[in-house]
Amino acid sequence: MHIILGGTGHVGSAVARTLLAAGEPVTIVSHDPAKGEEWKARGAKVAVADVHDVDALRFVFRSGRRGFLLNPPAAPRTDTDLEERRTIAAILAAVKGAELEKLVVESTYGAQPGTRCGDLNTLWELERGIAAQPIPHAINRGAYYFTNWDANLEEVRDTGVLRTMFDADFTLPMVAPEDLGAHAARLMTDGRTGIFYAEGPRRYTPRDVANAFAAALGRTVRVETTPRDQWTPAFKALGFSSPAAESYARMTAATADDPAFPAEAIRGTTRLEDHIAALVERAVAPA
């Protein structure tokens, strides 16, 4: 049995779908019983447990052989670093003594030690915590998600402006969550351990994203880069708390200033252009 944390999100659901398609048994862990009905219809089991409930989570882990660990993102209105460290501590405590034969951990490009640098720091701590366990494990470090651009659709459609904090020609590894999840599923079923990097078929720039929106929408789209001194206010305007806004701004700066992107990566097959085209198509489809 494969135990999937975060099975109702972009990457976790892709892991679960891939495993189910291969005939593998899957248990989705969710705190919301209503979200489990779709997975039951697909043939998965559903375990209702809060990620903060160490005993309940350990009980679920003990029912499986392999586990996929995805630390749920904290709500932006909170102190995201503090909240995500709390869930990481609970996950690590639940894994201890669960007697799983392998773990696959979802992480990110640029994971590094430090504080107040968003996921780069918190996911590094998850990686290190799992490495301290005796259970064999693989780290699935994902590039920048295509889905991070989804929230731009309305503004791009209405104004022809793609707003970003990166320079228009900054080359950034990106990946479709479904490709990232498919690779994690392969790690769940084979014997590989260590750190793996996963990204799309090629690297893209914000200008490439604008061009993809332009092609899908049939209109001109230009890139507008938010000045660095406006990054924290921009996050606050989106509803981020002050600590979260500052942390995300530092994470963005770390990516822009010292990317240290890997030379070798597992390549997915989903193109950015196809992701954007599908996004636009879903937005105009009748309800």
Partner residues linked to 142 by β-bridges: 108, 198
pLDDT per residue as tens, the chain (287 positions):
999 998 888 999 999 999 999 999 999 998 888 888 889 989 999 999 999 999 999 999 999 999 999 999 999 999 999 999 999 999 999 999 899 999 999 999 999 999 999 999 999 999 999 999 999 999 999 999 999 999 999 999 999 999 999 999 999 999 999 999 999 999 999 999 999 999 999 999 999 999 999 999 999 999 999 999 999 999 999 999 999 999 999 999 999 998 789 989 999 999 999 999 999 999 987 65
Residue whose structure tokens are 């003594």: 97
Q: Three-class SS of residue 270?
A: coil
Q: What is the DSSP string of 122-151?
A: HHHHHHHHHHTSSS-EEEEEE-EEGGGGGG
Measured CA angle at 67 (ends 41, 11), to 5 deg = 60
| pLDDT tens-digit readout, 26-75 | 999 988 888 888 899 899 999 999 999 999 999 999 999 999 999 999 99
Q: How big is the chain, counted in residues? A: 287
Whole-angstrom distance, CA of residue 66 vs CA of residue 192: 13
Q: Which residues contact 99 (CB under 8 A, 6 or more apart)?
A: 62
Whole-angstrom distance, CA of residue 20 vs CA of residue 188: 12
Structural tokens at position 266: 């597992």
CA-based nearest residue to 212, from 150, 255, 269: 150
| pLDDT tens-digit readout, 224-240 | 999 999 999 999 999 99
Q: For the domain 2-144+176-200, what is the CATH superfamily, name and number?
A: NAD(P)-binding Rossmann-like Domain (3.40.50.720)
Whole-angstrom distance, CA of residue 42 vs CA of residue 67: 19
Partner residues linked to 194 by β-bridges: 138
Q: Three-class SS of residue 131?
A: helix
Which is it for strands 144-145 and 174-175: parallel, antiparallel or unpaired? parallel
Whole-angstrom distance, CA of residue 40 vs CA of residue 7: 12
Give the DSSP H or E segment for 47: strand 45-48
Whole-angstrom distance, CA of residue 34 vs CA of residue 3: 18
Whole-angstrom distance, CA of residue 90 vs CA of residue 144: 26
Using only C-alpha atoms, the chain has a radius of gyration, in whole angstroms, of 19
Backbone angles phi, psi at 13, to 5 degrees: -65, -35
